[in-house]
Structure 1
Amino acid sequence: MSEETINPKRRTLLKGALTLGAGAGLAACGRSSPLATADAATPGTSGSYSADVAIVGAGIAGLSAARRLAAAGKSVYVVEARDRVGGRTLNHAVTAPGASPGTIVEIGGQWVGPTQDRVLALIDELGLKTFKTYDDGNYLDYRNGQKLAYGHLLPDPLNLGLNRLPPTDPVGAAEAEKAILQLDQMAQQVPLDAPWTAASAKAWDSMTFQTWIDQNVLTPGGQSLITLAIESVFSVEPRDTSLLHVLFYIASAGTLENLINTAGGAQDSRVVGGSQRISLAMAAQLGNRVLLGAPVTHIDQDESGVTVRGEQFSVRARQVIVAVPPTIAARIRYNPILPALRDQMTQRMPMGSVIKVQCVYPKPFWRDGGYNGQVTSDTGPVRITFDNSPPDASVGILLGFMEGSDGRAASTLTADQRRQATIDCFVRYFGNDAAQPLDYIEQSWMNEEWTRGCYGGVFAPGAWLDFGAALRAPVGRIHWAGTETATVWNGYMDGAVRSGEAAASAVAALL
């Protein structure tokens, strides 16, 4: 994939825990079925097909690739294991009393923001609209058993950012802001198309991000905020990934502030009607070229082409694009087998751990108290929240995330236990008005067969150094796409679009 440049937004100061960027744009989690499927082939695909290009995966990356190839006059088939399109994006109908007809929440990836140029352009091309994430009012920070509002408390006529630091621990927040600026500067040294070639790559990829925190952030408050930032962006613990991977991810988005901020950042806006509409609209354009209910079990290459097959179907093509997470791609059987470095790379890129939880209320009552619904907390299992209400506010919806270790522990609980744990957190932050939701919605992508985690795949220490070159390199007629392969906005819907379009361009040049 060719390196692309982005125009970083003006740097903003830390908003406490920065209304942390919970949810890399492609993930999250809720308990429900999709609202709709595209006008595609009947689920449970069977039969034999042929095309110039076969594409595995009908998420944003795979459908973007198919759309570009079809526009270039190439024949395509997209094969999808699920009975729906959208990958890690999924809409959920809200049917609680008072909700306007057609109200939805996203139980997968949902946000878009400035500098995410390709997904924003695609949204416009498809005739879809966006609306701003609710960000009016004060933030809440819950720390050491104390709850404190911040964000609009002090006069700041010179816009010095006086209201962006959490009053609960100003020393820790100041140290966290210093650490963020340091990470931004280090990230500028990481080549997006080859992170392993950075001058300090060996040192940076040989340590976990937790080691870097221990060496560079001294106060407990500062360590807590930086840890929460990493958990909210990656849904893993700082001990799980390398410093180099974190720096690459920051460079991919421009700055860490871009990743964690709401207004002007990665959580800036949502798609009217839900983010799954992006995939539904692309699939509708492709029509019966999208084959649902078609898990791929084998990909066989020979001198004249490639055969993609499952238990009841096969697609013969000249080239194939595999647009699923690397860990899922590794479960396909390849003939001939993949090169050792490619296979071992997939063994070192596990998915994050997150459960997305949402409670529906008669109205967004927190707004009446002057709050924007955004909480950062040192107490779990829900330590990040957002106002996820529909544009008309016909009902109020609080969104929370159980991430990293909290998500892993919560995955062993029953749904009723997670529901109560979520409500307990919301009551802790917003009072007894949160105690009796009209509905509870959850989704654990860890338990989703064709994803097995979110927000995306994360490289373990040492993986970029020895295996990074295998992430995007084609293997014969097999090409790779998916947000994990993107150089710009890696892990987000924008990265998925870019990766699909880049793979399509590379394949088209070979046909």
Structure 2
Amino acid sequence: MASENHDLSLTARRRRLLLQAIGSATLVGGIALSGRATAQVLRAGQADVLDVVIIGAGLAGLTAARDLQRAGCESLAVLEARDRVGGRTYNHDLGNGVVSEAGGQWIGPGQTSIFDLARELEVDTFPTYYQGKNVYLVGGAKYEEDLTSGQGASNPITEKLNELARGVPSKEPWTAADAAAIDQLSVGQWLAQQGVDNQARLSFDASIGLTTGTPPSNLALLHYLSLINSADCSMEKLEGFKGGAQETRFVGGSQILSIKMAEALGDKVKLSCPVRRIVGWDRDVVELHTDQGVIRARQVIAALHPALCNQIVFDPPLPDGRAQLQRLWPSHAPMRKTVHVYKRPFWREQGLNGQITQADGPLILSYDNSPPDGSVGVLAAFVRTAQLPHDPKRAESTLSAIYAQVLGDEALHPTQYHDHDWGKVDPWTLTCVGSIPPGFLTRWGQYLKPPVGRLIWSGTETADLWASGMDGAVRSGHRAALEALQALVKAGRSA
């Protein structure tokens, strides 16, 4: 009896230690736990059952894994379907240590979680180059505008959007007081009601399309207002370079964050390991059927785009609300980015910043993506896939000719060309950014974040702030790790 009481006392002390550790956790800067104390109290259980399995080795999944490991949880694995880490971030290697990002790349004021992560990983940042004039091509005409000092004069339509965004919480936009009425409108319909002229509409279409991957006519006003709400209720901050979410880049490219986290996790990260089936998500131990065998876990973090979850068979089927959200989540904004490399950023000598917008051709926006020292010139671009040839040589020459209209004949002779169409590179992306249509969030948003059985949902789309951005991915990873630890403690108490 004395021995039994001693065992009960020891178990109680262990649980108390972990509860105290989790009580000290924060979501902003990561999980501030004592690794030694936490490791001592996480239950051992069956040797072949992991405490946590994370699906997806992008920013969200790797952040969650990193937090768990820092909390003392070593019983984990990260399963990645691709043969690389980074998810929707990917670096083109241009040689001599220079990269150009094919996916997400910019951060800005207010995106504190990803700034904190970069600092902890010792990844430096540098300002995006935007000094000089922007150029607009409309038919055969060319217009120049200098926005170096800011984002232009205050626009009454922008001010109205900012004011509306104050009433739409980014955490749960579907709970806004007038959510049902707002969610009936697309951004395009709302702009039409404001009497926006063609020139202003062109500007709105370009900026909103780049942020959300879809024209304003297809984008829910409620969703867009929630994105503005994340950016301190400032469309200028959401869309802008100077003082905005595109102000800063990473030395070494954005994928370096995931690469560094994965290196620290070592063999806990399993590449080329897609999850095909999840069995028993409603039981104490979940089975994940992968291309590398069956893995068993007590908690599962799905750090995936919601629509990508449809590629996994759930047994038993997920509850109807969650299943419908995944089935109906839009996935038609894959995006395509190109890169022209030149011997130097010669456009700067002309007083241009490399930003070229074309109203009626394949070029949506080009921008200066050169390295911090300007040792080579890099023009990256978002393009309209349907209007640009898929053959790389033809695509290169088509865009070079457009650049030459603005920059001169030197633009016709790049030293390298890279082309990354996210809709074609692999089956694991589907879409790059969120393009939520009217009526979706008020019907299905409530099913996005709550855990289902042993399944915890992560990924930038689930973030309370900066959803669809890299910062949102990091925030969602912090939250998911904390939820997993709390679930393990709760299960330990009831065991």
TM-score of the aligned structures, taking structure 2 as reference length: 0.85
Q: CA deviation at 1:133?
A: 0.8
1:80 aligned residue: 80
Q: Tell me which of 202, 214, 222 is aligned to 1:244.
A: 222
Q: CA deviation at 1:79?
A: 0.3
1:499 aligns with 2:472: no
1:295 aligned residue: 274
Q: CA deviation at 1:183?
A: 0.8
2:126 aligned residue: 131
Report Cα offsets for 1:354-399 as digits up to 9, x if no partner.
1101101111010111111122332321121110111222210111
Question: 1:182-193 to 2 correspondence within 5 Å?
Answer: 182-193=160-171
Q: Tell me which of 382, 385, 398 is aligned to 1:407.
A: 385
Question: 1:114-263 to 2 correspondence within 5 Å?
Answer: 114-143=109-138, 145-151=140-146, 164=152, 177-254=155-232, 255-263=234-242
1:264 aligned residue: 243
2:22 aligned residue: none
Q: Which runs of 4+ in 1 moved over 4 A?
A: 2-5
TM-score of the aligned structures, taking structure 1 as reference length: 0.82
The answer as to whether partners of 1:362 and 1:395 remain within 8 angstroms in 2 is yes
Q: CA deviation at 1:62?
A: 0.1
The answer as to whether partners of 1:359 and 1:437 remain within 8 angstroms in 2 is yes
**Structure 1 counterpart SS, 2:363:** coil
The answer as to whether partners of 1:298 and 1:333 remain within 8 angstroms in 2 is yes
Amino acid at match of 1:195: P
Higher helix share: 2
The answer as to whether partners of 1:253 and 1:490 remain within 8 angstroms in 2 is no
The answer as to whether partners of 1:357 and 1:422 remain within 8 angstroms in 2 is no
Q: CA deviation at 1:144?
A: 5.1
Amino acid at match of 2:250: V
Question: 1:263-412 to 2 correspondence within 5 Å?
Answer: 263-301=242-280, 302-351=282-331, 352-402=333-383, 406-410=384-388
**Structure 2 counterpart SS, 1:73:** coil
Bigger-Rg structure (1/2): 2
Q: CA deviation at 1:3?
A: 13
Q: CA deviation at 1:450?
A: 3.9
1:105 aligned residue: 100
**Structure 1 counterpart SS, 2:328:** coil
C-alpha distance in structure 2 between counterparts of 1:164 and 1:3, whole Å: 38
**Structure 2 counterpart SS, 1:193:** coil
1:485 aligned residue: 462
C-alpha distance in structure 1 between counterparts of 2:479 and 2:364, whole Å: 36
C-alpha distance in structure 1 between counterparts of 2:123 and 2:334, whole Å: 30
- Provide structure 1 residue ranges, at least 5 long, that are not aligned to the other structure: 6-47, 96-100, 154-158, 166-173
Query: Aligned residues: percent identity?
Result: 38
- Provide structure 2 residue ranges, at least 5 long, that are not aligned to the other structure: 1-24, 29-46, 489-495
**Cα RMSD over matched residues?**
2.2
C-alpha distance in structure 2 between counterparts of 1:263 and 1:362, whole Å: 26
Q: CA deviation at 1:215?
A: 1.3
Q: CA deviation at 1:258?
A: 1.4
Amino acid at match of 1:400: A
The answer as to whether partners of 1:3 and 1:192 remain within 8 angstroms in 2 is no
Amino acid at match of 2:381: G
If asked which structure has higher relative contact order (CA below 8 Å, sep 6+), I would say: 1
The answer as to whether partners of 1:307 and 1:317 remain within 8 angstroms in 2 is yes
Q: CA deviation at 1:53?
A: 0.4
